[in-house]
Structure 1
Amino acid sequence: MNLIKLENGMRIATQQLDHTRSASIYFFIGCGSRYEDREILGASHFIEHMLFRGTEKRSSKQLAEEMDFLGGQLNAFTTKEYTCLYAQVLKNHVATALDIMCDMLCNPLMSDNDIAIEKGVVLEEISMYEDSPEELCADLLCESVWNTDSLGFNILGTRNTVNDLNSKKLKNYMQNFYVPERMTVAICGNFDENEAVDILKHYFSKKQNTGNFIKPATPKFNQAITLKQRDFEQTHMILGFKGLPLGDKNKYAAAIFSAVTGGTSSSRLNRRIREELGLAYSVYTFITSYLGTGLFGIGAGINHSNQIKAMEEILKILEELRNGISQEELYRTKEQFKAVMVMGMESSSALASAMGRGLLLENKYTDVDTMIKKIDEVTVEDIQNIACILTDPSNMALTVVGRPEAEQIYSSMFCKYCHR
């Protein structure tokens, strides 16, 4: 990876892959729901939508048609800590695609008419996620465990806050966050590096910073049981624990522990909950790391009448894992984990994404060889230690969406788990 830093602090990462015929371009901006105030919830995500609504020299229709003409892919997404605008195009179209993306980021129109139209789109997106048991359950879990911190805010905002957004609010917010010190761009594939850097300098070299650096924080993790009645075909539950922050030295052990628990077809949860008991079609684990904190979770979609049995089995499996795993289980999971990681990182898109995100949040990029080495170094003892950290009863929360049982039933199960 080649790293170029402009005088204003904007970082540009490039990686040549001469065997490819395309290139991927990823812009990362430190602008997410974690940095919002309650009055403008959803602003980061709404701005992401407005980037596609036209610029001073390109209408929304022209943006779409120009990218289609190039035969490329252009998209974006927003998380709690950043917004990402990305594209993948053939090697002879990189300069044009980069010019389009820079124009979108530097010169969005933000007209009142476009904002009014886009509000309808975002409100429908909110409704869509509320109709998804898994998404609704995950959002409610974050809101409950970080209920005193902006990390718990919903990325989409609320209907009220979205309706209250206007051009002035969005432009002021954007001016404070779409600044060089909070931006990275990564380009990976077959492209002319000098030409790409010249385009980026043309658009961004004169951009001024606001002193609004990304500042890590450690919010309090709150124990909570959150129950939501909804008319779904299944009851969805997520058992959450305080996880690891970005850059934690135990992150590789944690990733392998998550895979052993519920990340593979031979994982403990999949074998017991699905294959042996037939209690769920989908049962899974996840690890999400943020600046200063993180979340480890176990999720499942369950028939309403089986949710207590499933939860009892999940807690029993966690207790077993706290007593350790076998060397064979560790080796098998390591090999599967490495295979997924290596194959996933072989595309220019995955490399560019990892480079840009790593530089933005951790000010570094870890290459695949280093990650493989770190995975190979994980021991059985490391897994047992991290199991005790990630399944600590004092940092446990539960969210159930669908037809939850009475709260005291879950509380009783928690008490038993805490005293085992």
Structure 2
Amino acid sequence: MRCLFVPLLLLLFSPWSLADTRSAVEGYQLQNGMGVLFKPTDQRGSVSIRLVVGVGFSDFSCQDRQLPHLMEHLFFSGLDGGDEADLEARMQTLGGQWNAYTSEGDTTFVIEAPAATQRQVLDLLLEALTRTRLDTAKIESTKQVLIREDGGHYSHLQRFLDHQNISRSGQEQLAVELGLACAERPQVAQLTQAQLEKLRSDWYVPSNMTLIVVGDLDPRLPAYLSRTFGSLPDHATPERRELPEMKGPAAPERTLNTGLFGEGAVLHWIFPEPEDADGAALDLLQAYLSDALYSDLRVHRELSYGPWSERASWSNQSFLSLNADIERSDQAATIQAMRELLDGIRQHGLDPQRFARIQRVARAQLAWSTPSNATLADYYWGALSDFDGEHFPNEERRLAKVSLQQANDTARQLFKGDGYLRIERPLLDDDSAYPLGAAAALALLLPFALLLRRRRG
């Protein structure tokens, strides 16, 4: 452990340039296998902490999918007979704030704290992870929190609508159709204390954790971590579940009802990304499409106020989509405009001038933007799989290496199929409300009119 002190001290007190704000970090493992990443910055007086635990939704079946989320909430339920408010007060006394997030692949604890109390804050986090008692009352109370977070109890009507494939957002609906997402909303009522205890025992082990600390680092941090987090016992984690593969068939076009009456609609034209496509090329292509949609749909045709392109992942499959918020009366015109954009790329490739401009601004943003401690910590959290032991990828070089030819090849491969069109809109437009209202009123008045006529007769 002593060999770490000299390089860490040099790292802590060496000058840092803006050009080196992301890629270079100090990374090592504690003796029990826990990963540690340090990033000193010139933002004095504070630190951003991320503890990433390698367990998430995708490690469990659809029935038990909420287990890691329930476990995450329980870690904030209180210590030593106290409740959630008492635990929050302890963190506030240290000047910090914390939260946690469960995703498909990990559960991450997010802390912002003063530099002066960084070790005490980590003490409190360690206490929460190791000393939180899982009793029936806490579990049942926390289940109610998750139910409220998810919009209330899962009604029979909601389950029916889910099975009719009309109640979800466009991208989630496609993921369900392709077998990449659960067909029903995951429930918590059936989850047990034994399952939670097993989850904590199986997955909350040092070799399945990475601690990221960014900011004004305490030089005593390595010794502290070795003494505290480094004393946690380790063992192998269970094998991770195989992620579902994309399968079909999925409807080429589907309209999803988002209400009864309304004049608005949202279009999603979704394309599965090729498995071997370069990530930087896809990032630039996504930015190119956002710019093209803005120029065409908003500025020139005035069909959509805020069209956008987006990359998203479900299970082990990524998608790129073209999206637009529109008036429902403009649906056909918007689809045609998007089709013309895609056909132009298929036939002629990307516009060289627009691509060069998009690539130039993407690279420039890395130079003129100064990330905060929190932004850097979040970046390392999201890019952990790309860490080579010393450096994260150099984003500027990665973007600079993408040629126009490579971007065109990626676009043609991406758009070689027709994709999937999902349209979110209310069942009826506002004009339909008047005749329906009149018909309903007539249906209600007719029996009274007949009854009155009989009495007079």
TM-score by length of 2: 0.75
CA distance in 2 between counterparts of 1:56 and 1:229 reads: 49
Q: Does 1:74 align with 2:95?
A: no
Q: Which residue of 1 aligns with 2:199?
A: 173
The alignment partner of 2:33 has SS state of coil
The higher radius of gyration belongs to 2
Assess, with a 3 A threshold, how the Cα gap between structure 1 residues 193 and 308 changes in structure 2: closer, same or farther: farther
CA distance in 2 between counterparts of 1:100 and 1:351 reads: 23
Assess, with a 3 A threshold, how the Cα gap between structure 1 residues 249 and 311 changes in structure 2: closer, same or farther: closer
Q: Does 1:261 align with 2:252?
A: no
Match of 1:61 among 85, 99, 118: 85
Q: By how many angstroms is 1:223 displaced?
A: 5.1
Identity %: 19
Q: Which residue of 2 aligns with 1:236?
A: 266
Comparing 333-342 and 274-283, the one that deviates more: 333-342
Q: Does 1:346 align with 2:379?
A: no
CA distance in 2 between counterparts of 1:240 and 1:329 reads: 22
CA distance in 2 between counterparts of 1:238 and 1:382 reads: 25
Q: Which residue of 1 aligns with 2:362?
A: 337
Assess, with a 3 A threshold, how the Cα gap between structure 1 residues 368 and 196 changes in structure 2: closer, same or farther: closer
Q: By how many angstroms is 1:99 displaced?
A: 1.4
* 8 Å contact from structure 2 (residues 48, 377) kept in 1: yes
* 8 Å contact from structure 1 (residues 10, 184) kept in 2: yes
CA distance in 1 between counterparts of 2:218 and 2:278 reads: 39
Comparing 319-328 and 218-227, the one that deviates more: 218-227
Assess, with a 3 A threshold, how the Cα gap between structure 1 residues 386 and 302 changes in structure 2: closer, same or farther: same
Q: Which residue of 1 aligns with 2:45?
A: 21
Q: Which residue of 2 aligns with 1:205?
A: 231
Match of 1:402 among 421, 425, 441: 425
CA distance in 2 between counterparts of 1:254 and 1:17 reads: 30
Match of 1:355 among 372, 376, 380: 380
**Cα shift readout 1:50-89 (whole Å, capped 9, x = no counterpart):** 2211245764222211222233231121221112111111
* 8 Å contact from structure 1 (residues 40, 165) kept in 2: yes
Assess, with a 3 A threshold, how the Cα gap between structure 1 residues 274 and 171 changes in structure 2: closer, same or farther: farther
Aligned residues: 388
* 8 Å contact from structure 2 (residues 386, 392) kept in 1: no
CA distance in 1 between counterparts of 2:374 and 2:250 reads: 38
CA distance in 1 between counterparts of 2:146 and 2:41 reads: 37
**Cα shift readout 1:306-351 (whole Å, capped 9, x = no counterpart):** 2232222222212222332233212211232234445666211222
* 8 Å contact from structure 1 (residues 92, 191) kept in 2: no
* 8 Å contact from structure 2 (residues 214, 376) kept in 1: yes
- The residue type equivalent to 1:399 in the other structure is R
CA distance in 2 between counterparts of 1:201 and 1:64 reads: 25
CA distance in 2 between counterparts of 1:316 and 1:366 reads: 46
Q: Which residue of 2 aligns with 1:413?
A: none
* 8 Å contact from structure 2 (residues 206, 232) kept in 1: no
CA distance in 2 between counterparts of 1:341 and 1:366 reads: 20
Q: Does 1:158 align with 2:185?
A: yes
Matches within 5 A, 1:129-168: 136-145=169-178, 147=179, 149=180, 152-153=181-182, 158=185, 161-168=187-194
Q: Can you give the 5+ residue segments of structure 2 that lack an aligned partner in the other structure?
A: 1-24, 159-165, 429-457
* 8 Å contact from structure 1 (residues 326, 380) kept in 2: no
Q: Which residue of 1 aligns with 2:65?
A: 41
* 8 Å contact from structure 2 (residues 258, 427) kept in 1: no
Assess, with a 3 A threshold, how the Cα gap between structure 1 residues 143 and 290 changes in structure 2: closer, same or farther: closer
Assess, with a 3 A threshold, how the Cα gap between structure 1 residues 337 and 183 changes in structure 2: closer, same or farther: same
**Cα shift readout 1:279-320 (whole Å, capped 9, x = no counterpart):** 223321122357853222223323223223222222221222
Q: By how many angstroms is 1:354 displaced?
A: 2.5
- The residue type equivalent to 1:69 in the other structure is T
Q: By how many angstroms is 1:25 displaced?
A: 0.4
Assess, with a 3 A threshold, how the Cα gap between structure 1 residues 13 and 57 changes in structure 2: closer, same or farther: farther
Coordinate RMSD, CA, aligned:
3.2
Match of 1:270 among 271, 285, 294: 294
Assess, with a 3 A threshold, how the Cα gap between structure 1 residues 181 and 35 changes in structure 2: closer, same or farther: same
Q: Which residue of 1 aligns with 2:4?
A: none
* 8 Å contact from structure 2 (residues 47, 113) kept in 1: yes
Q: Which residue of 2 aligns with 1:414?
A: none
The alignment partner of 2:98 has SS state of strand
Assess, with a 3 A threshold, how the Cα gap between structure 1 residues 284 and 221 changes in structure 2: closer, same or farther: farther
- The residue type equivalent to 2:214 in the other structure is C
Q: Which residue of 2 aligns with 1:104?
A: 128
Assess, with a 3 A threshold, how the Cα gap between structure 1 residues 240 and 366 changes in structure 2: closer, same or farther: farther
- The residue type equivalent to 1:158 in the other structure is R
